[in-house]
Amino acid sequence: MVELVVAERQREKEAVHGHTTKPNQIHHHHHHHAMTLPSHDAWIHTSHTLLPRWKSLSLLSHQSTLPISISRVNQVDAARLDVEMSAMLKEQLVKVFLLMKPGMLFQYEAELDAFLEFLIWRFSIWVDKPTPGIALMNLRYRDERAVEPRDKVRTGLEGPGLTVAQKLWYCVATVGGQYIWARLQSFSAFRRWGDTEQRPLARRLWILIQRIEGIYRAASFGNLLIFLCTGRYRNLIERALRARLVYGSPNMNRAVSFEYMNRQLVWNEFSEMLLLLLPLLNSSSVKNLLRPFSKDKSSGSAEDGTACPICQATPTIPYVALPCQHRYCYYCLRTRCAAAPSFRCSRCSEPVVAMQRLGGVPTE
């Protein structure tokens, strides 16, 4: 009986314990489900909060471009190559008018330069091609105003070429501007606007031209300093048009051949060395050194010793060198002995210690 009562109480305790823990487990399950799955209203509230920030970040990324670094040496070399090519074309064009009246082409030199620059612009920049110097340096012009944003580029070299307006303004500035300035300077110099006795208007125009030139040079110098720091826009025209030089092909190596440069340096050094050493060399000494190796033998009077071995003429006032007794002209022998105290005979390479008139008294 007692055992039955104990068993009954034990079942009651288990039943009570089970009824008390089950609601707690159910409550904990519902709480965990509510934490992992936010409500629809919570999602809408979060999206409205973060949307302005996302728009601001997107606008900032669209305004910024991928920074790239273009070699300054390549850009300067391209400009130098274009100048050299223009000079070569001008030299070839001048040869066409070689048979014409001398000095006539000099009057139209400014027009000739403008014509050549226009041809280069017409067949390069106008047809969306780089100039020869720019092409050799693997560069091209890009419109910096229409560069794609950072999130739409891969290398930073993408971007459209120059617009039609930029090309026309480039021609006006480079071809027309240089021509007008060259003509204005030549005309003012020919009319002597800078003289003090000129009219006040001409004098003022001359001062204005000088000031404009000074301002332009100062601005060009400032642009050069900025170009050396940033690597953008070699001159004021490119900066005003926002025409930037970038690489044409991102995978192309910079292949520079130094063979011609090395050869030119060797020849320059060799020529400078010869110019330095030739005045120090005695021609007679060189002839004496080379005479044993020479196979040419003079004939006639040179073989019988009656001709001067220096000037190869018959001596008017014959002198003989001592002690070898070979005949010379007085002037030839005297100048050689005065120039080199250790003068050797041009025939036998014997040191000459004195000279004597033929049939006379020896002199030192």
Q: Residue 29 and residue 131: Cα distance in Å, rounded?
A: 75
Inter-residue contact 326 to 320 (CB < 8 Å): yes
Q: pLDDT, tens digit, for every residue of 144-182?
A: 888 766 556 566 677 888 999 999 999 999 999 999 999
Backbone φ, ψ for residue 214 (5° rounding): -65, -40
pLDDT for position 20: 43
Question: What is the pTM for the complete model shown?
Answer: 0.55
CATH assignment of 301-363?
Answer: 3.30.40.10
What is the Cα 86 distance to its own chain's centre? Answer: 15
Lowest mean pLDDT among 113-117, 119-123, 267-271, 350-354: 350-354
Residue 209 pLDDT exceeds 70: yes
Q: What are the boundaries of each domain within the chain?
A: 72-147+156-247, 301-363
Residue 302 pLDDT exceeds 90: no
Section 337-353 average pLDDT: 81
- What's the whole-number average pLDDT of the chain? 78
Most confident range (mean pLDDT) of 59-73, 100-114, 285-299 is: 100-114
